[in-house]
Amino acid sequence: MKRVRLIHAGREQWGVVSSDEQAIALADGSTVGWDAATLLPPVTPGATVFALGLNYADHSVELGFKPPSQPLVFLKGPNGFVAHGGVSPKPRDADQMHPECELVAVIGRTARRVAASEALDHVAGYTIACDYAVREFLENYYRPNLRVKNRDGLTPIGPWIVDAADVGDPQALALSTTVNGTTVQSGSTGDMVFPVAELIAYLSGFMTLSPGDMILTGTPHGVHFVGEGDEVACTVERVGRLVHRVGLQA
Amino acid sequence: MIGGTAYGVALNDREQVAALGDALGEKPYGKPPVAPILYIKPRNCFAASGSAVTLPGDVAEVAVGATIAIERALAGPPVARLAIDLFVPHASFYRPAIAERCRDGFLPLGPASAPPADLASIEIVTHIGGAERHRWSLSRLVRDPAALEREIATFMTLAPGDLLLCGIAGDAPTARAGDTIEVTAEGFAPLAVSLVAEQAR
């Protein structure tokens, strides 16, 4: 199933997308047409949001780094999220803003000291994020610093969460980014340095993961700077296609 | 109790920055920081005053970063809480210190109250095991709470309920399992927690 969060009848709700992707079924049994729905980021309020740096060997090499010996994890606040179909504002004082297509694992059950062999049992499903970086603001303190990776509106996410059972092996998915129809990133989750199960084992080894927590699992190679008006689409096989537009900071 | 995201600020203590000296111009940093260095304390860290915080088996001692958390209000002036940013001491500020800072219970928070007028120079005192172990004033901050909010607002918006831990003393004391910690500051109710060893698994 594909689960969306939307605002309908004046309230936030979760719904299930029909198999033809034309309608959304709500908890009360009513339905909303897909085209009439106002989607929200499929994020549980308060969730802890992890992201991975340098988790694809080819992207590490592209940036001049050796792949890390342990996961390079950073955290994100909720201020960055933008729903499918939304707008990500490019800062006026920076031009090196590049999209990063990422598979997102959504925790379904509390996880504490979970072995990698059991870790995927704690995943409810998967979604897609475009975890923008703005390179002009990189500093070598708690890098990647929040000014680069946690800016308002620069983390489109969605459109939905697909049940883990419908995705299957999370390490066998093609993922790509197009900008105005031209492919700028193309890779496979099979190239992750630390696969989803190992990331959950690592994180849950020192802290408790709760339902709704999310892990943005890193991005493959392909650094392409976007500009105002660009249409960006991030696709992950068996999960979906997340589309947004680049705007300009007010 | 806490409805927002907790953000902390590293290297916001002038004495700590002075002590690091030329090291901030060398590898891996290259140059001293330009913008506030933020980090997030996620929800698993939140703990109430009076809590027993479990020190995991791999953590022999923790730094006790007593500070003030400024809580964004929906409208009007913010409120403030005493806070203890517990973290595993670490020398490098190069990579995000998630395993060091984000353990369960590693952000005890006191009740909210109106911030005193002299917040920018308020003195925060830490007692460990009944003895005073540390005392510092927010006048040591590189950026005071108002300057922090101004600079952070250039790239991200704090929402109502979000917390901003306005800085940690570079010479924060350390504590171990079995210790009790009490943090006080004039105008705030004391914030007390105890540290307990994890039961053997």
- Are B156 and A77 a contacting pair at CB < 8 A? yes
ipTM of the complex: 0.96
Please tell me the number of Cα atoms within 13 Å of B19 on its side-chain side.
Answer: 11
Instruction: Indicate the residue of B95, B103, B156 with minimum beta-carbon distance to A206.
Output: B103
In chain A the domains, ranked by start, together with CATH numbers, are 1-40 (2.30.30.370), 41-248 (3.90.850.10)
Q: What is the domain range of residue B147?
A: 6-197
Q: Kindly state whether B52 is in contact with chain A, defined as any CB-CB distance less than 8 angstroms.
A: no
The pLDDT profile of chain A, 250 residues, written as one tens digit per residue, is 999 999 999 999 999 999 999 999 999 999 999 999 999 999 999 999 999 999 998 888 888 888 788 999 999 999 999 999 999 999 999 999 999 999 999 999 999 999 999 999 999 999 999 999 999 999 999 999 999 999 999 999 999 999 999 999 999 999 999 999 999 999 999 999 999 999 999 999 999 999 999 999 999 999 999 999 999 999 999 999 999 999 999 8
Q: Is residue B84 part of a domain?
A: yes
Q: Kindly state whether A76 is in contact with chain B, defined as any CB-CB distance less than 8 angstroms.
A: yes
Sign of CA dihedral A141, A144, A149, A150: negative
Specify whether the CB–CB gap between B46 and B107 falls below 8 A.
Answer: yes
Domain count, chain B: 1
- Are A141 and B10 a contacting pair at CB < 8 A? yes
Q: Kindly state whether B91 is in contact with chain A, defined as any CB-CB distance less than 8 angstroms.
A: no
Q: Is residue B1 part of a domain?
A: no
Q: Is residue B123 part of a domain?
A: yes
Interface residue of A52, A207, A210, A216 to substitute, partner B, most B CBs within 10 Å: A207
DSSP letter for each residue of A73-122: EEEE-GGGEE-TT-EEEEPTT---EE--EEEEEEE-S-BSS--HHHHGGG
Q: Kindly state whether B156 is in contact with chain A, defined as any CB-CB distance less than 8 angstroms.
A: yes
Burial of B7 from C-beta contacts in 10 A (0-12 / 13-18 / 19+): buried
Please tell me the number of Cα atoms within 13 Å of A88 on its side-chain side.
Answer: 34
* CATH number for the domain that contains residue B122: 3.90.850.10
Q: Kindly state whether B60 is in contact with chain A, defined as any CB-CB distance less than 8 angstroms.
A: no
Rounded distance, CA A189 to CA A192, Å? 6
DSSP letter for each residue of chain B: ---S-EEEEES-BHHHHHHHGGGGGSTTT-S---S-EEEEE-GGGEEETTPEEEEPTT-S-EEEEEEEEEE--SSSS-EEEEEEEEE---S--SS--HHHH-STT-EEE---BPPPTTGGG-EEEEEETTEEEEEEEGGGBSS-HHHHHHHHTTT-PPPTT-EEE----TT--EE-TT-EEEEE-TTS--EEEEEEEPPP-
- Are A207 and B44 a contacting pair at CB < 8 A? yes
CA B54 to chain centroid, in Å, comes to 18
Instruction: Indicate the residue of B35, B56, B104 with minimum beta-carbon distance to A139.
Output: B35
Instruction: Indicate the residue of A75, A207, A210 with minimum beta-carbon distance to B40.
Output: A75
Instruction: Indicate the residue of B34, B97, B162 with minimum beta-carbon distance to A142.
Output: B97
